[in-house]
Structures are given as C-alpha cells and as structure tokens.
Amino acid sequence: LCSTKGRLLLAESGLSFITFICYVVSSASAFLTVPLLEFLLALYFLFADAMQLNDKWQGLCWPMMDFLRCVTAALIYFVISITAVAKYSDGAYKAAGVFGFLATIVFAIDFYLIFNDVAKFLKQGDSTDDTTAHRTEEDNSNSDSDSD
C-alpha cells in the first residue's frame, strides 16, 4: 500500500465498491456487474502485487493483463457513468455516475503509468538487443577477416 501501484489499486477497489453500492441502492440491476467485477479484479491484483505473485508466476504477462484490465475498466466505467447520469434522474444513479467518473480517471491514470513502464522496459530491451547484435556482427566480421 506504500507504493503508487498499491495506492492506485486501493483507490480502484474503493471506488468500484462505492459505485457497486450505489447501483445496489438504485434499481439498476444491469449496471451491477461491472463495478462488482472490477472491485474483485482490483482486489486480486492488489493481493498479487502485495504477495509478489508476478515474480513467482513468470508464465503470465502481468503488465499486459493489468493494462488490459485498466483500459477496459476505464472505457466501461465511462460508458455506464454517462448512461447513469443522462438516462436516470434518481439520486443513487447520479452518485453512481459521479463515482464511476472518478473511477474512470483512476483507471486511466493507472493504465497510463503501466503504459509508460512497459514502454521504458521495451526501449531498454531494444537498446540492449541492438548493442548485442552490433557486437555479434563485429565478432563475425573479425573472425571472417582473420580466416582470410
């Protein structure tokens, strides 16, 4: 919880839970699924981050899973929040819409930070691959010239 990622996951789970409660109080059962699912997924990723499961289970691409979770959550929260605010006049719908917009912002910040981390990692990987390939080409050219 001390890291930026932990705080973002805590905010995501908190806002998702509050949005879920607002939809429970209102009569919109169609919108219950998204906040509940995102609440459970945020709790899972918070648990996985705290227990460092991403280091233990190397077969899964954790940054990509987290990125896709955040992108889809931001898009879906944005759509259902607009629908809740525009279509319904009940106070619980309006509150759910406001908390949904806040959740959209938090999820968008999270996927922006994940994207920056992945981009830095890929740039760093590309530069080491380039230097390794350059060294290999030099070694091959030296060995070819020695045999002549």
Is residue 102 over pLDDT 90? yes
Q: Which of 14-18, 41-45, 85-89, 119-123 has the highest mean pLDDT?
A: 14-18
pLDDT of residue 59: 66
Counting Cβ atoms within 10 Å, is residue 115 exposed (0-12), middle (13-18) or buried (19+)? middle
Vertex 54 angle, CA 43 and 105, to 5°: 45
What is the arithmetic mean of pLDDT over 83-111? 87
Reported pTM: 0.73
C-alpha to C-alpha distance for 126 and 120, rounded to whole angstroms: 10
Q: CA-to-CA distance for 46 and 8, rounded, in angstroms?
A: 9
